[in-house]
Amino acid sequence: MTMKTPRPLRHPAAILAAFVLLGVLFSCSAAPRPAVSPASTPAADANPLLAPWTTPFGVPPFAAIRSEHFLPAFEEAMRRHLEEVAAIAGNPEPPTFANSVAALDDAGELLDAVASVFSNLRSAETNDALQEVARVITPRLAAHRDRIALDEKLFARIKTVWDRRESLPLGQEDRRLLEEVYTDFVRAGSLLSPQQKERMKAINEELAALGVKFGDNVLAATNGYRLVIDNPADLAGLDERVIAGAAAAARAAGLEGKWVFTLHWPSLWPFLEGADNRELRREIMQAYLQRAGAGTPHDNTGILARIAALRVEKAQLLGYPTWAEFQLEKSMAKTPANVRQLLDRLWPRALAVAAREQGELETMMVADRVPPPLESWDWRYYARRVKAAKYAFDEDALRPYFSLDRVLEGAFWVANQLYGITFTERRDLPVYHPEVRVFEVKEDDGSHIGIFYVDYHPRPGKRGGAWSSTYRKQWIRNGQRVAPVVVNVGNFSRPTADAPALLSLDEVETLFHELGHGLHQLLSNCRYRSLSGTSVPRDFVELPSQIMENWARAPEVLAHYARHWQTGEPLPAEFIDTMQRAETFNQGFATTEYLAASLLDMDWHTLTDVTPVDTVAFERASLERMGLPRAIPPRYHSWYFSHIVGGYAAGYYSYVWAEVLDADAFEAFKEKGLFDRATAQAFRKHILEQGGTEDPMTLYVRFRGREPDVAPLLARRGLQ
């Protein structure tokens, strides 16, 4: 399961700060030029972010954009946006859906464009100058958002339309937009007293600034550590590919003849899985677990405590006892109690399976004359060895069959088989880094769908993990479809001097996962920007991504793309059989570490006191209360839990909630055929094209014919 970034707030006035400032990249909107704007000035035309984008398909002119362009571009874009909003609020005509609600959704196109380029670059290719821009612009964007969200004249027009909604001839998508805009205004504080509104503004500005600082600290702490090995004996147990990658990292650092391992996942996890040197495994694992922790140079503990306290205060200002109740109101889960019900159903099952797994691993430890108990730096090492012994198979044997280019082509092939769409590489389009590739996506009749960027390798300027985002969302402007510009970003294994990028099975599934998000954005067919693509509840947004992972392992699909990078031979049938038999191996561990992070998230966001807590003590108490085994840390400790500082606050449970949906939905394909076109078209029509235009359960039932069943998920994870 790959951790992704969340959807934006749907309120048009809130699109900006949420993405730019918190690194939340799911669905930033952008377009080459605002639909309504004053005449260009010479200064504006000199700034490539403000001048018309004459690139093919209106993609960002990356080669012309410099860090110094962003601050003046934000200032000008905010000015134009406020002019557009002022025109709506001051319209002398009576409020209507078109001149108030739809007009507000259409406003701010230029600001969306600037914000999307900035936030995408800041996450994938940042530098000191961009980080400084973020620190400067953060409070200003927060204030800009609040200025619109708390505009009394504007809200009065929206409320007038809302109050008359039953008598208006509105379509389904119109009604949904009206509901979303009105409720988001209310949730932003439009019904508060003047004094409360001022406090809300101050909270929002501080939260935005703290979010930037938190993310900067995680990135700095991750980049600031390296394990340098100069004794070849300390490389025992590691795969030659891993050793070659570490040697390349050392050369890049000016340490010729040595080996460098970092906290970036393509370096960290293979080391923990393979290195025989237990002390070095302990050292790098401890560095990972304590990055940005208490007493470190980039200590995030106080920042997170302050964020949590401010969220309590904000929720209570709006009439909610906790942040979780505020956040979950618009989710599929609706309440913290419903989230707890799902997590509590899975937690004891996961613990029981993890305990059995730990027993197997400790048996091998004893055989190695290593006294138990198992520690966190031991689990992956012994899990790999037990798996190899149990199934006579090592996952590294798969890597030669998973070259990045072939895996990507395989994922595109699946999309073609399901939806009839094609991906054609375009080498004539601008990119922000030489490693980035670009594809034009078309329907089977050749009509243009959108542009798809991919960026798959770790760099010092890129944050960890994998995500999908947009440079421009799909919507309908003046009756014409605005084609989306989508990007998938990852941190996959790099090529070495003598081999292409060869992926792990987890990386393969991550690539398919992110393409699922990309398809949700590319195939969107919505009128309004703030409802299109991934603008859906957090616990629904992972359905299109997680269901795609199922095809990555399917024998029919492996037969197409899994071929040895040197010989071209297909993945042996016995390998595929072993993969299938081992699918539930170590799922107790995987489920437990994920659920622990989800429960920790819920504990943080069901606080009711506005006084900041001691982060370390709070987390310790939370983990002790849930009974987390010592050898299994939560997937994210609080001090580097970027998801819950960003848009997944009180929402990290969403991955397993959505997995209930995806496991159940995939059963429909298994029943009819993995590439049954009618089933695929139903999924496209009722899920991928709809964005947030209807209640997600309504959409799901329309596709599946009933509500989801949890049984397929329990079977998949071996938790029956």
Distance CA 375, CA 304 (A): 27
Q: 245: domain range?
A: 225-290
Task: State the pLDDT confidence band at 647, using cuts at 50, 70 and 90.
Answer: confident
| Residue 20 pLDDT exceeds 80 | no
Write the DSSP string, 253-276: TT-TTSEEE-SSHHHHHHHHHH--
How many Cβ atoms are within 10 Å of 46's Cβ, its own excluded? 12
Provide Rg for the chain, Cα atoms. Answer: 25
Task: State the pLDDT confidence band at 45, using cuts at 50, 70 and 90.
Answer: low
Across the range 29-46, mean pLDDT stands at 42
Instruction: Answer yes or no: is 411 within a domain.
Output: no
Last residue of a domain, one of 199, 220, 241: 220
Distance CA 579, CA 402 (A): 14
> What is the greatest pairwise CA distance in the chain?
83
Same domain, 152 and 285: no
Task: State the pLDDT confidence band at 10, using cuts at 50, 70 and 90.
Answer: very low
User: Measured on CA atoms in the order 197, 203, 205, 211, is the torsion positive or negative?
Assistant: negative
Task: State the pLDDT confidence band at 145, using cuts at 50, 70 and 90.
Answer: very high
Same domain, 216 and 230: no
Q: Read off φ and ψ for residue 482, nearest 5 degrees.
A: -90, 120
Give the per-residue pLDDT at 572: 95
All residues at 6 or more sequence positions from 194 whose CB lies less than 8 Å from its CB, including other chains: none
Across the range 26-39, mean pLDDT stands at 32
Give the per-residue pLDDT at 530: 97
Same domain, 192 and 232: no
Instruction: Answer yes or no: is 140 within a domain.
Output: yes
Write the DSSP string, 689-709: TTTTSS-HHHHHHHHHSS---
Instruction: Determine what percent of the chain falls in helix, strand and coil, rounding each to the nearest 5.
Output: 60, 5, 35
Instruction: Answer yes or no: is 670 within a domain.
Output: no
Give the per-residue pLDDT at 394: 83
Strand ranges inside 19-121, DSSP E: none
Give the per-residue pLDDT at 657: 96
Instruction: Answer yes or no: is 17 within a domain.
Output: yes
pLDDT, tens only, 398-457? 999 999 999 999 999 999 999 999 999 999 999 999 999 999 999 999 999 999 999 999
Same domain, 156 and 272: no
Task: State the pLDDT confidence band at 3, using cuts at 50, 70 and 90.
Answer: very low
> Token digits for 476?
């309908």
Distance CA 404, CA 510 (A): 12
How many Cβ atoms are within 10 Å of 583's Cβ, its own excluded? 12
Instruction: Answer yes or no: is 263 within a domain.
Output: yes
pLDDT, tens only, 436-445? 999 999 999 9
Same domain, 42 and 72: yes
Q: Is residue 203 within 8 Å of residue 188, measured between CB atoms?
A: no
User: Measured on CA atoms in the order 224, 632, 489, 384, is the torsion positive or negative?
Assistant: positive
> Token digits for 510?
């991550």
Give the per-residue pLDDT at 497: 87
Q: Is residue 9 within 8 Å of residue 123, measured between CB atoms?
A: no
Give the per-residue pLDDT at 44: 63
CATH code for the domain of 173: 1.10.1370.40
Same domain, 194 and 106: yes
Instruction: Answer yes or no: is 611 within a domain.
Output: no
> Token digits for 370?
């290593």
The candidate with the shortest Cα–Cα distance to 333, out of 9, 657, 659, is 657
Distance CA 40, CA 258 (A): 55
Same domain, 175 and 153: yes
Instruction: Answer yes or no: is 16 within a domain.
Output: yes
| DSSP tag of 171 | -
| Residue 577 pLDDT exceeds 60 | yes
Same domain, 121 and 240: no
pLDDT, tens only, 657-715? 999 999 999 999 999 999 999 999 999 999 999 999 999 999 999 999 999 999 999 99
Same domain, 131 and 47: yes
Q: Is residue 593 within 8 Å of residue 633, measured between CB atoms?
A: yes
pLDDT, tens only, 456-492? 999 999 998 999 999 999 999 999 999 999 999 999 9
Same domain, 199 and 62: yes
Q: Is residue 259 within 8 Å of residue 247, measured between CB atoms?
A: yes
Domain count, the chain: 2
**CA–centroid distance for 621 within its chain:** 28
How many Cβ atoms are within 10 Å of 265's Cβ, its own excluded? 22
How would you classify the pairing of strands 467-472 and 485-489? Answer: antiparallel
Instruction: Answer yes or no: is 41 within a domain.
Output: yes
Q: Is residue 658 within 8 Å of residue 543, measured between CB atoms?
A: yes
The candidate with the shortest Cα–Cα distance to 439, out of 448, 451, 449, is 451
Q: Is the peptide bond before 373 cis (omega within 30 degrees of 0)?
A: yes
Last residue of a domain, one of 181, 204, 220: 220
Round the average pLDDT of the chain to a whole number and report it: 93
The candidate with the shortest Cα–Cα distance to 719, out of 356, 256, 236, 330, is 356
| pTM for this prediction | 0.90
Same domain, 235 and 108: no
| DSSP tag of 233 | G
Same domain, 185 and 71: yes
Give the per-residue pLDDT at 138: 86
C-alpha dist (Å) from residue 601 to 7, 288, 666: 18, 19, 28
Which amino acid is located at 668 in the chain?
A
Distance CA 695, CA 542 (A): 15
Last residue of a domain, one of 237, 267, 290: 290
How would you classify the pairing of strands 437-442 and 448-455? Answer: antiparallel
Q: Which region among 6-20, 59-73, 194-208, 573-587 has the lowest average model confidence (pLDDT)?
A: 6-20
All residues at 6 or more sequence positions from 266 whose CB lies less than 8 Å from its CB, including other chains: 245, 458, 491, 492, 493, 494, 507
Is residue 507 part of the annotated active site? The answer reads no
Write the DSSP string, 551-578: HHH-HHHHHHH-B-TTT-PBPPHHHHHH
Which of the following is catalytic: 125, 514, 549, 659?
Answer: 514
All residues at 6 or more sequence positions from 425 whose CB lies less than 8 Å from its CB, including other chains: 437, 438, 439
